[in-house]
Structure 1
Amino acid sequence: MSTPSDSRFTSQNQSTQERISSTTVGLVKLSDFRKRRAEVLEQQEREAHDAASSGAGTPAAATPDRSLTGTPDPNASDASTAARKKAKKRKAASTKLSFGDDDEADGDGGGEDTEGGKSDAASDRWNGHKGKSKFKANASVSVVPRAVTKSALRREAAEREVLRREFLARQEAVKSTDIAIPFTFFDGSNIPGGLVRVKKGDFIWIFLDKSRKVGADLGVGEKANAQREWARVGVDDLMLVRGNIIIPHHYEFLFFIMNKTRGPNNTLLFDYSNEAPPPKDVSDAAVDPLSTAASRAAKALQEMTSLEGASDDPTFTKVVDRRWYERNKHIYPASVWQEFDPEKDYEKEVRRDQGGNTFFYS
């Protein structure tokens, strides 16, 4: 039977790990475990101090604690082993749970905080590195981009609108400019036709319609009723041949003038200015009501002859009856006529007849 003194010595010889295991069974939080462990260590230190001061229990106090020295205890029970396993499981669970506040507050430097301490130190080093390596502006860039604001966008839009209106105004001025086109009627030979006054913005069919009226007034043709023949002919039955190029009806003169379109032999198809003329003085254009019809006609003719293009070669512009062309298109010069193609480069073209023979003359 054990004596009270034996139970006292047995309690004093109980290892630290066993005390911790017995007092922390059932705990879930890591903070509670650490608190209990600190209390057990503090209680054990007090007991050792009391035993040393009273002179009793010296052998037990001199005996080193196997849990602190790491020496395996042969008398350790299965309960202590199970307690250590539970402690390891709780430690593994604590690594998965978030005890960030407790880890920062804990300062005992235990083994379970080693990884956290390493990660904190690495984080501090990384933050310090980021603070030192700040991005700097490229000093080699000499042109600094201008900040685009709403007012700047509105100002640029207003400037573009002003330029657009100026361009349209100049284009309208060019389109409304009068020009004179001397021409001939062609039916195998050149028959003088006179002058036709058109605007640069007119279509080709407008010129052909005016030339038809000129032919009716002049009575061009071999028949006695040539005037009636020209009066009955339609615009679709007429063709405009400029040099050796047949100009389709739907084109505007402005298209060739603005683009400076060239035909064979590097010749401009319509050699007119693409700039608007200076404004005229309206006082000089006033009509005298006392002038006669003959004087007004003479003045109109004088004005037409002063127009741009009035002095051009009339044989360069031919008005041809399409029916005559269909009957004679295999005979020179109609055999070398070709319809205008905007995609074709006539400057580099090698001229050939319908048989494929190359022309060695212009």
Structure 2
Amino acid sequence: MGDFQANFQRPDTGINTVEGNVAGSRAATLSKKRAAEQASFEARKQKIKADSERGKLGIDAKFDTNTNVSKEEQKFREQTVGLVSAAEFKRANAEIEKARSKRGEDEFDDGVEGVDGGTSITEEELKRLEKDRKKARKKALKEKKKRMAALSFAGDEELEDDETNGADEPSDGKESNDKQSTKEDKGIMKNPSVDTSFLPDQGREQRAKEERNRLRREWLDRQKTMKEEVLEITYSYWDGTGHRRTVHCKKGDTVAQFLELVRKDLAKEFREMCNVSSDALLYVKEDLIIPQDISFYDLIATRARGKSGPLFNFDVHDDVRLGALDARVEKDESHPGKVVERRWYDRNKHIFPASRWEPYDPAKEYGTYTIHGGEVTKKKN
């Protein structure tokens, strides 16, 4: 009995249990399930590993810009990656040049051995290859000329270069080639009846530029000549009554220069003019106070108009209303300009005629001339 108990063994289920066969069956089921899960885990692990290796190869292929580099070049790149000194770079470059020269000598020796072995090309084959190459070149040139013949302005320079290169090569049918090239040249001639004025032309543009410069110089010379012409201006020194005078100045002079001449002329008769400057004087023409920086040439060139007459005419009429008036024709009769002191104007600007005066604005349109006698009215725009 004791031996039986000592030698008793449970049925081998592959599971180490102490609860008996029922518990062993359940443990076996769990063990199989665990084994299946382990196998599935190993399979997924292998798949992930394979995908990782494949992805790495794909990335290397993507960023490899040149797959046809030689071994020497690849080795040189690996040795010079990153920051290297000049000595290391030169040493690596010398090594790759040495390897390249050695590889070239080996290939040359192999080629010589191949020729000696009976693989050399005969002279007839060389001539045939040269002839085929010429035919292919002529055919390509002919196709190119046909494509460009549709345009009236073909690339003559390129065609001439191709023909020059072809002429350097020896050919057997020289006369026939000359005839063919002559016919093709006739087919690509430019059309003389085409209007080319819209195309850029350096010569035409240069001539137009020279003509503009010539006209500009001519206009400047004419302006200079006109500004040097002497102008006789009749003015009236106005201090409540008129004192008519005449002064000569140039057309290019400004109103300030004109007022300085007037001041010197009036100082001979009016003592108060000795103690004032030209800045204290005003020049009033056709009820407009002319700024001192405007020249008489500007008024004449622009044919400026005032409120009661033109500003570009300096002759004198007693009254612009005298004589027959034609509304269709602009009158050039004007009043003599008035020269007044600024302080007199400040004291009397509310009294006629100073009440009609206003500063001149070149950009303003004053319309038709208006003249009011002793009545002061505001002009309606």
Q: TM-score under structure 2 normalisation?
A: 0.42
Task: Report 1 or 2 for greater relative contact order, CA contacts < 8 Å, sequence distance ≥ 6.
Answer: 1
Q: Give the TM-score, by structure 1 length.
A: 0.44
